[in-house]
Amino acid sequence: MMQSESNPMHLHGHDMFVLAQGLGNYDMARDAARYNLVDPPVVNTVLVPRLGWVAVRFVADNPGA
């Protein structure tokens, strides 16, 4: 299904590092080389681009309630 707008993504109880984002299909050979592993922004919500992707990293240390 074709999306018309960007989609917000949120992980309850976690902040996440945004390593990269792009349009179209994710291509590991091309896109992984663009990861910002030095000083990625830390957010609690990120917009996934319309028909695109976002690579995030987070620490899974919240056992839930």
Closest CA to 56 of 11, 6, 7, 20: 20
Residue with tokens 């992984």, as numbered in its chain: 32
CA distance 14 to 44: 7
pLDDT tens for the chain, 65 residues: list them: 555 688 889 988 889 999 999 999 999 999 999 999 999 999 999 999 888 999 999 988 877 65
The answer to whether the pTM exceeds 0.85 is no
Burial (Cβ within 10 Å: 0-12, 13-18, ≥19) of residue 52 = middle
Helices (H), the chain: 28-31
pLDDT of residue 30: 93
pLDDT of residue 25: 94
